[in-house]
Structure 1
Amino acid sequence: MSEDARRPSVLIVDDVPANIRVLVDFLREGHDLHVATSGAGALELAARLAPDIILLDVVMPDMDGYEACRRLKADEALAGIPVIFVTACFAPEDEAFGLSLGAVDYIVKPASRAVVRARVKNHLELRRARESLARQNAVLTEAAKLREDVDHIMRHDLKAPLTGIIGLPPLILEEGGLSDQQTLFLKLIEENGFKMLSMINLSLDLFKMERGAYVLCAEPVDAAAVARRLFVELATLAGYRRNAFVLTVDGRRDDGATPVVICVEKLLFYTMLANCLKNALEASPGDAAVSVDLRQGNPALVVIANHGVVPRDIRSRFFGKFATSGKKGGTGLGAYSTRLMAETHGGFVRMETSDETGMTVITVALPQPETRETTP
């Protein structure tokens, strides 16, 4: 029989047989009833039967109801059983004392059938709800543990075999005797192996950033050169969609040679800009330009603009973890990781989108060594 289908068990504790008969009559329908006539008997039956609820008299010889309740709540195996005092002690201080011992309710004799049944029903439902939540929490905790184990495998255990894969192509190439096509394939294997290793390392870094344990290693980086490199790497995707890239520095067209030096961690800056450009390309209509404006100062700003607006259902959680809307295969981690990396630099990232202009602008602010600024 399922837990929901079985009749709830009720332990009635009172040293007066007439009082027991009244409660038994009230609760006979729909409940399995058990009776004890003393505090000691109540403890013994509770330990043996584990009832769903206990109705407990206060004034009893040898061990009163208050002491019985205190001992029940001190026993880890019995503490979760709800206790309702049913007593002739009606003073407010009596009720307050009983509730302070852990009882869930206090009914003053003589009580009506309707009141007793309603109170018992309510507290049984509350107990079932608490137990259901506890089971759900246990499942969620186990799922979170499983995810952490999988993450550990992805972040750590894959690195060893991947390092072996990366190391083999150079050894094979040294042997020689390969066709041009075979040589190309081996170099592609090596290159993609390094990309996978970089992704795993980045995953490890994001894990540290989420916990505030990442140690930033900033250095002077030519932001313009990074942008130009990404334009080349994303040229195929942009060309397929007939999009163009435009790079400006403080609003002036880039000359293709002048450096724009800012102090950042190079790999993190590259990843932030790559995430923003890929998102901008995917959101842009065909034949539209994606622009990057590098603004020097403190903080240094990187402003990425594209045609197209962010869907309304995702605007408030744009930089949230796993936030995505209508994008096949999207993980929802690009904007999230960009935010983490900007904040790791002591900066921030913001998104502005307009239905009127049909444009979306992402601004990444990266404080320079002299001062650290925060989101306005």
Structure 2
Amino acid sequence: MTTSEQKHYPVSTQILIVDRFETMRKVIAHQLASLGWDHVLMAENDKKAQHLLQTQKVDLIISGLPGAELLESVRMSDKLKHLAFLMITAEIDRTQIVKCINAGVSDLIVKPYTSQRLLKGIQNASAWCNRHKTPSVITTANIPSSHILDTEISSTYTPNILIVDDIPANLHLLSEIFKDEYKVRVAKDGAKALSMCRSDTPPDLVLLDVMMPDMDGFEVARRMRDHPSSENIPIIFVTAINTDEAQLKGLQLGAVDFINKPVDPVIVKPRVANFLRYVRLHKQLQADYDGMLEAAQLREDVEQITSHDFKTPLDTIITLVHAMLGGENDSLDHKQALQQIEQCALQVLDKVNLSSELYNVEMGNYTLVKRSVSIEEILKKIMSFCLIEFSTKSLNIVLKSAHSDSSNYAMTEVLGDQGLCYTIFQHLIKNACEAAPPKTPIMISVSNGNPVNITIRNMGAVPQKIRSRFFDKYITFGKADGEGLGTYAAKRLVEVQSGNIGVSVSDTPTPHGVTSVIVTLPRFTALESTTL
């Protein structure tokens, strides 16, 4: 990262680093400083961390402690529960990982990790704050995308080996043995080896000579264990020393194997291959844990959508029932009231169904059963409800179809799922009503082509700052109780039905401007009627 990039990072962000080992705490602090964060606090255990959290301003917690005790105590505290919490772990027990996810961890970083992965974790922490309506001081908007790594392990990934030896002939011999199967790098001394192991592209396995000048292999191994990029890299000592004492010392430093010189390719190749299989499985942990965390967040997102959308219909049902039972309003049309109650109850039921459907869509497990859907019938139902809900704004909601003036008028049918279509247009029309100034029109038009275009047009321009992210998660503006998930859900449900959605914004006419959301869905034709 260049100096010009670093200066954009907020100097006021205070980060608490918690780890049992002082060396690890210092290394993490150094990584943070290289990324632009200089204000850090350090603690070696839960007790000291809790003291600092109670007495100091903390914006982000980075913990290398095993278990979820500190995380759970933070989430149980009214004062601290809003804090983003990164957990750095070498844990392979998924039961413990699930426990951390359920406790509310913001992100999980698997050892060994690089400063780039730490940077991505901080970006995820900022996103976590946004999801939970917590003002985030962890500004990451200026992080170049080139600094954020994808953690998924490609099926074509080729492991890389670092060979360390001070004798060129030995480097050449081992390189020739492995060059056809792996990416091979070499270092002729311990200092160079450490530099490569602590970089943002560390090797997957180190073949390390013991007897080297200046810094022997044992010292290289010891120093590797003091850095998060290298502490979990497997080491195989390749040495002419075959005493029990030397092997014990190597094992105590974390060596996984010893290979005696002179090297026999028939023996060394399968032994290296065995350890690299383990390395690949361990690397996949980061992608697996990311997937587990994403699944938990998706489930939470769906719950937020449904809980948010339950409130209005349930309030309406309660209000109407009270009016009917109390007889306080003599002009109340009971038939109309019952129809409204039915419509509100259907909305609640629709949201219950949506909770599982949207989750399955996001996880790639949703199976669409295509049917003929009368799109105008759905639009009329939603319009009638919105006219009641937004009656105080005196909006004029108008539906116009391309063939509605024809004597042979017939409802426009699209190919999709009725429940999904209802949810899509309920979100979009409700958004338009919320955004529209009082006493202005909302025009809903349905085309007569194939595909079918449904356009929802309202006065009031989407603010410039969110236009490019209109369909992203957690994007909301001017709504205190908004979850920022409605347009995102609409987009995903349109796409699963082989449709498209877009937004067009104009700042004219003044003073309000105009926003148009255009949904495109496949038309139901006679051909589909014979195949369904």
- TM-score when normalising by structure 2: 0.41
| Equivalent position SS for 1:103 | strand
In structure 2, what is the equivalent of residue 316 of structure 1? Answer: 468
Are the structure 2 counterparts of residues 217 and 326 from structure 1 closer, same or farther at C-alpha, using a change threshold of 3 Å? same
Q: Does 1:241 align with 2:241?
A: no
Q: Does 1:228 align with 2:380?
A: yes
In structure 1, what is the equivalent of residue 484 of structure 2? Answer: 332
Q: Does 1:214 align with 2:231?
A: no
In structure 1, what is the equivalent of residue 205 of structure 2? Answer: 102
Distance 2:486 2:304 in 1: 18
CA contact (8 A) 2:23 2:226 kept: no
Are the structure 2 counterparts of residues 108 and 249 from structure 1 closer, same or farther at C-alpha, using a change threshold of 3 Å? farther
Q: How does 1:172-321 map to 2 (within 5 A)?
A: 181=325, 194-210=346-362, 211-221=364-374, 223-250=375-402, 258-264=409-415, 265-321=417-473
CA contact (8 A) 1:353 1:360 kept: yes
Distance 1:95 1:335 in 2: 57
Are the structure 2 counterparts of residues 291 and 215 from structure 1 closer, same or farther at C-alpha, using a change threshold of 3 Å? same
Distance 1:345 1:106 in 2: 60
Are the structure 2 counterparts of residues 278 and 108 from structure 1 closer, same or farther at C-alpha, using a change threshold of 3 Å? farther
| Equivalent position SS for 1:127 | coil
In structure 2, what is the equivalent of residue 361 of structure 1? Answer: 516
Are the structure 2 counterparts of residues 141 and 350 from structure 1 closer, same or farther at C-alpha, using a change threshold of 3 Å? closer
Q: How does 1:59-78 map to 2 (within 5 A)?
A: none
CA contact (8 A) 1:84 1:106 kept: no
| Equivalent position SS for 2:168 | coil
Extract unaligned runs of 5+ from structure 1: 9-75, 156-178
Distance 1:190 1:225 in 2: 16
Extract unaligned runs of 5+ from structure 2: 1-17, 26-91, 93-110, 113-160, 179-184, 187-202, 234-282, 306-322, 328-333
CA contact (8 A) 2:500 2:520 kept: yes
Deviations 1:102-161 (A, max 9, x none): 217789944489xx88x947972523699xx99998986665565578799999xxxxxx
| Equivalent position SS for 2:22 | coil
Post-superposition shift, 1:272?
Answer: 1.9
Distance 2:21 2:289 in 1: 19
Are the structure 2 counterparts of residues 346 and 355 from structure 1 closer, same or farther at C-alpha, using a change threshold of 3 Å? same
Deviations 1:41-91 (A, max 9, x none): xxxxxxxxxxxxxxxxxxxxxxxxxxxxxxxxxxx9xx98xx987643124
CA contact (8 A) 1:209 1:340 kept: yes
Are the structure 2 counterparts of residues 364 and 194 from structure 1 closer, same or farther at C-alpha, using a change threshold of 3 Å? closer
In structure 1, what is the equivalent of residue 166 of structure 2? Answer: 88
In structure 2, what is the equivalent of residue 124 of structure 1? Answer: 227
CA contact (8 A) 1:304 1:361 kept: yes
Post-superposition shift, 1:343?
Answer: 1.9
Are the structure 2 counterparts of residues 129 and 304 from structure 1 closer, same or farther at C-alpha, using a change threshold of 3 Å? farther
Are the structure 2 counterparts of residues 254 and 292 from structure 1 closer, same or farther at C-alpha, using a change threshold of 3 Å? farther
Deviations 1:210-250 (A, max 9, x none): 325222232251x3343333222111343322322122223
Distance 1:297 1:329 in 2: 38
CA contact (8 A) 2:504 2:517 kept: yes
> Which residue type is aligned with residue 172 of structure 2?
E
Q: How does 1:38-49 map to 2 (within 5 A)?
A: none
Deviations 1:193-222 (A, max 9, x none): 55433211122222233325222232251x
Distance 1:106 1:303 in 2: 70
In structure 2, what is the equivalent of residue 61 of structure 1? Answer: none
Post-superposition shift, 1:359?
Answer: 1.4
Which segment drifts farther, 121-130 or 226-235? 121-130
- TM-score when normalising by structure 1: 0.55
CA contact (8 A) 1:348 1:364 kept: yes
| Equivalent position SS for 1:126 | coil
In structure 1, what is the equivalent of residue 270 of structure 2? Answer: none
Are the structure 2 counterparts of residues 239 and 129 from structure 1 closer, same or farther at C-alpha, using a change threshold of 3 Å? farther
> Which residue type is aligned with residue 306 of structure 1?
N
Aligned CA-pair RMSD: 5.0
| Equivalent position SS for 1:124 | coil
CA contact (8 A) 1:353 1:359 kept: yes
CA contact (8 A) 1:89 1:108 kept: no
Are the structure 2 counterparts of residues 104 and 125 from structure 1 closer, same or farther at C-alpha, using a change threshold of 3 Å? farther
Deviations 1:325-376 (A, max 9, x none): 342222222212222222232211111112345211111111124599xxxx
Are the structure 2 counterparts of residues 192 and 301 from structure 1 closer, same or farther at C-alpha, using a change threshold of 3 Å? closer
- Which of residues 496, 500, 503 is equivalent to 1:344? 496
CA contact (8 A) 1:345 1:366 kept: yes
